[in-house]
Homo-oligomer: A and B are copies of this chain.
Amino acid sequence: MGSLTDIGVSAGINILSALGFLLAFAVLRIQPINDRVYFPKWYLKGTRSSPRHLGTVFSKFVNADLSTYIRFLNWMPAALKMPEPELIEHAGLDSAVYVRIYLLGLKIFVPIAVLAFTVLVPVNWTSGTLENEKGLSYDQIDKLSISNLGKGSKRFWAHIVMAYVFTFWTFYVLYHEYKVITTMRLRFLANQNRRPDQYTVLVRNVPPDPDESVSEHVEHFFAVNHRDHYLTHQIVYNANHLSGLVEKKKGLKNWLIYYENQHAKNPTKKPTMKTGLWGLWGKRVDAIEYYKKAIEELCKQEDEERQKVITDPNSIMPAAFVSFKTRWGAAVCAQTQQTSNPTVWLTEWAPEPRDVYWANLAIPFVGLSIRRLLMSVLLFFLTFFFMVPIAIVQSLANLDDIERLLPFLKPIIERNSLKSVIQGFLPGIVLKIFLILLPTILMTMSKIEGHISLSGLDRRTASKYYLFLFVNVFLGSVITGTAFQQLDNFIHQSASKIPEIVGESIPMKATFFMSFIMVDGWAGVAAEVLRLKPLVMFHIKNAFLVRTELDREQAMDPGGLDFYYSEPRLQLYFLLGLVYAVVTPILLPFIIVFFSLAYVVFRHQIINVYNQQYESGAQFWPDVQRRLVIAVIVSQILLLGLLSTQEAEKSTVVLLPLPVLSIWFHYVCKGRFEPAFVKFPLQDAMVKDTLEQAHNPTFNLREYLKGAYVHPVFQRNDIYELVAIDEEEKNPIVVTKRQSRMNTPVGSKFNSSSGTNEGDFSRMPPT
């Protein structure tokens, strides 16, 4: 274990680097040129416009008002000022609930830390076992931890009592928080305006019918079995190929704009390019002409494909979005089984339109369970054997091979000092690249599993990532060795031995985890607020691709919370805090600093930066709660293991009820709160229906729902037309008054140009 001085130095360095990031952020954010990087949320809301329009050219880019530099930390209180209801309105419930996780960390750990420092630290400190044992190297941190108690000491009772107190306190906070979040969710759903997904149910695995098309079959089925409630439906097309074309066109369009900008800057020189791979080989042609022609061709292909999708019955998926006259009808349909065969006519709440993951709607249901099996096997191997491919790549990526492949690098590499540095770093870099790619790999696995909403994908990926982090970061750090070696050990160890092994190493790793919290936590959060990557990307795009305000709007990359990536990492801190609360309480202040800093930073980010892709109404909370309870149970089992190696076996029996109680607590909470996150209660549906009926009896719901669930390639169409329109506006053939529709509601985006696929609506009789 490191000494207090080591920790102090490490803390100093990390505090300085965190401060450095914060300072850089404070300076950069008040420069008008970066305004769109640090306040994109407000631009998207339409309440902030480019500061470039005001003042001199210089002040457009650089902030010269020195007084603003002095108050460089004033964004912090500002981030805390916005009250929660306003925050929910501004950023959505998902984000508002997400930052509450950090607050939850403070709620759990501040009282625990206070108690631990008043009770456990004195108990540990005054027990002079380490001092008395000569020849043992120890240090102040050890003296503060449970290691300072001798084997079989009576003082372990203090720790056992505290384990109970901490557990019950955590339960209390968790239960209370779950209750609050449930209430928030229900209030949010109740206050929500009319939304298409409130009336709509996604039906999958419509069985084939020899006489009827999917659309007719769906209509007849629901008109019969939900006689009084069925309103309309929207069939689902397999437009994955079409989306591919659209994406490709988008890329080509960017290049076209790039070359046109080049040309505009230097009108005398026509930009040229090579047609071969990455523009390195091939014939040199006029770039603008080339891209214009390519786009034109792609447009043709796209039109053909669009026609094909709409007319070809094979591209109609056996799935549909079915809408009902009332929320009550939709709630009933989503929660019930439709036919005696439970693998057909599967109904579930439709995700909100932005949340739908369209590519997976085309997956036939048959193979879903096989996909899930394969993915769980893969996840197992990825978690425990990921080091195998990494090691292979690392062995390939040694310098001698590189020299042989790329001989011209030889003189550079052969310099001795450089060679050893690279040789030392290369394996680490390979591992680092894998770890950076990991969340994306896991997300791809979740996509293969066939979940149909972005929020569902996020949640599933978070579970996978948490497993990986738990095994490879937490267990892997405690017991050094690869996950595979651990697995091998664990299989050949007895069930009671495993917690002992892990538990015994826990106190010795406290210093390591303190450094981890400072590097990954403190500095990481401070780096998050700086947004280095979006900052660079924005300025690159701004330099080469931006011509109109709309382009600039698109060049902003507000990003989002990335639940699948950030929540599992955050859970790691809860796990560390709970595990060390009893063992080495000195770690708790580090956790508390992390949660405080992260709370301020993320609150600032969701207010000013992030633009969530979807709004699931905090549907992820049951997952958060589950992982928190897992952390509690792990901490209890490890404490059990630790104490049983300290010759306090008798007293550990007293700890045995704790995990049982925790599991029970989990089921109580699950039973009490989880349905609110899965089902929509009929009473609430009825209340909203009745209110709406009273307020707006003549509302045309059919018209409102029309096109709400149309595949985005049929909608996004508008956006691409807008680009064309912009060009037209510049060189108007006919004067147009059309405007950007970026912020108009989804429902009205569907315009008549893609009206061919509305045939299914118009065929419907007015029920």
Contact = CB atoms under 8 A, between A and B. Distances in A.
A225 B682 contact: yes
Nearest to A690: B224
A77 interface: no
Identify the 3 closest CB pairs spanning chains A and B, nearest first: A342-B675, A337-B679, A335-B336
B338 A683 contact: yes
18 contacts: A225-B682, A225-B683, A336-B336, A336-B682, A337-B681, A337-B682, A339-B684, A340-B676, A340-B681, A340-B683, A342-B675, A342-B676, A369-B667, A369-B671, A491-B496, A492-B495, A494-B497, A495-B495
Nearest to A190: B340
A342 B673 contact: yes
A343 B674 CA distance: 11
A139 interface: no
A668 interface: yes
A646 to B, nearest CB: 18
B672 A224 contact: no
Contacts of A343: 671-672
Contacts of A340: 182, 186, 676, 681, 683-684
A369 B339 contact: no
Task: Output the residue of A221, A339, A679, A683 with the most chain B CB within 10 A.
Answer: A683
Nearest to A673: B342
Interface string A441-485: 000000000000000000000000000000000000000000000
Contact of A492 (B225, B226, B494): B494
Interface of A: 182, 186, 221, 224-228, 331-332, 335-340, 342-343, 345, 369, 373, 377, 490-497, 660, 664, 667-668, 671-676, 679-684, 686
A686 B369 CA distance: 30
Contacts of A682: 225-226, 336-339
Contacts of A672: 342-343
Given A332-B332, A664-B373, A668-B369, A683 B339 contact: yes
Contacts of A221: 683
Contacts of A683: 221, 225, 338-340, 345
Nearest to A331: B336
Contact of A671 (B342, B493, B686): B342
Nearest to A333: B682
Contacts of A228: 228
Contacts of A332: 332, 336
A676 B342 CA distance: 7
Contacts of A225: 682-683, 686
Task: Output the residue of A342, A377, A686 with the most chain B CB within 10 A.
Answer: A342
Contacts of A660: 373, 377
A592 B706 CA distance: 63
A329 to B, nearest CB: 10
A389 to B, nearest CB: 20
Contacts of A339: 681-684
